[in-house]
Amino acid sequence: NELYMSPVKDSSGNVTHFIGVQNDVTLRKNAEHDLRHQKAFMEKQVKERTVALKESEAFLSSIIETVREGLLVLDPNFNVLSANYHFLKTFKVSLEETVGKELYQLGNNQWDMPKLRELLVKILPTNNPVVDFEVEHDFPHIGKKLMLLNAYRIELEGQFKDQILLAIEDITERKEIERRKDDFLSIASHELKTPLTTIKGYMQILQRTIPQEASDKFVNTFNKVSLYIERLNTLISELLDVSKIQTGNIELHMSEFDFDNMIAETVDGIQATVPGHEIILKGKTNTIVSGDESHIIQVVNNLLSNAIKYAPDSRRIEVNITKVSEYVKVSVRDFGLGINPEDLNKVFDRFYRGSEVQKKFPGMGIGLYVCDQIIKNHQGTLWVESEKNEGSVFSFTLPKERKEPNAS
């Protein structure tokens, strides 16, 4: 309680008595106590969050400084707000020469590239990120660089509003390694093709001269040699196709053909070589397709061969053909191992093979890559649906007629 006392005096100025007022201040004191407690709690929280924020900033800063890509943060006028260590190292500039400068003025206007301007101008108004945009530029001090750019608008309010994060990966060395690998593939496959053609010629001559009284062992050995020569020929042809695809020299020899007959003949040809499997063909399209028939046959052969190869314990393979609008669709289904979810989006990459596949089955991982490129060159689509231990379905669609690139 609070007690207030006031004296009461008479006319002579003498205190005659006192008047007192007593107030119950329990609620106020409790409120003051609660406020002090709340203030202390909030101060503690602010301190903890400040420490956490500083730790988070330090953690993010360490990531940014160690990432193997050059990173720039730009304001809406494309002035550089920050740059990480890898950018400075790759392009041989200092922090003082970079931060606070307009991007296009860096290094005596070395970054004033039309493609880069076009890319960044599109970011702010549309809020669309730019992903894996290749730019080649000849820098006076460090030479020609091939860069992979990714740009994102930072969607924050206040002082960070409308900033752009620009990631720059120098892929010059990687592309050079890929080029050398492609050159090696091209040379190696051509060098292998010549003696193999000679061997095939001699085998054909030998086949015509095999006497009828030749032993079964001799005939079986001859047939096995012929089979492995054909497998080697297929592998070399795929390597040549990879080389042609990488250099953009793959040619399509277009013609019109009966799609259903082509599929049926291809299935029959594979079925004759694998009596242990049953290939079931379903459906009809009744369609004449315009395309490179030999390349489409190559795709179907590859999908069927894979279905047989990766489903050794399953006798059944299903091939389904249908017509979908102006497209024909082929699906090849096996009931084998299936594909791990993490491998699904990589099966069409060049030289990619899943870890389990590498252990159990030989191969180079180029067949599906070649198939994918062939179908794309026909303006079609190849895809896969699969579940682990439930088998896989590889499907592709082709337009009845391939449009020329300049066609409207």
pLDDT tens by residue, 251-266: 778 999 999 999 999 9
Q: Does 323 or 105 have the greater pLDDT score? A: 323
Please provide the size of the chain in residues: 408
Of all helices (H) and strands (E), which one includes residue 319? strand 316-324
45 pLDDT above the threshold of 80: yes
% of the chain exceeding 70 in pLDDT: 89
How does residue 404 score in pLDDT terms, banded at 50, 70 and 90? low
**pLDDT value at residue 383:** 96
In terms of pTM, does the model score above 0.85? no
Please report the pLDDT score of residue 154 as a whole number.
78
Angstrom distance (rounded) from CA 400 to CA 288: 7
- Among 70-79, 154-163, 187-196, 360-369, which stretch is predicted with the lowest mean pLDDT? 154-163
Percent of residues in the chain assigned helix, strand, coil, to nearest 5: 45, 25, 30
Q: Could you tell me the end-to-end alpha-carbon distance of the chain, in angstroms, rounded to an integer? A: 92
pLDDT of residue 407: 45
Q: Which residues contact 143 (CB under 8 A, 6 or more apart)?
A: none
Give the residue among 394, 407, 406, 375 at the shortest CA–CA distance from 289: 375
User: Phi, psi at residue 5, to the nearest 5°?
Assistant: -115, 135
Q: How far apart are CA 61 and CA 328, in angstroms?
A: 53
Count of CB atoms situated within 10 Å of the CB of 302: 20
* Closest residue by Cα to residue 336 from 387, 285, 269: 387
Kindly tell me if the per-residue pLDDT of 222 is higher than 80. Answer: yes
In sign, the C-alpha dihedral spanning 291, 295, 301, 307 is negative
* pLDDT of the residue at 285: 94
- 66-80, 108-122, 306-320, 374-388 — most confident range: 374-388
Which of 23-27, 39-43, 367-371 has the lowest average pLDDT? Answer: 23-27
Q: What's the CA gap between 189 and 220, in Å, rounded?
A: 29
pLDDT at 161: 67
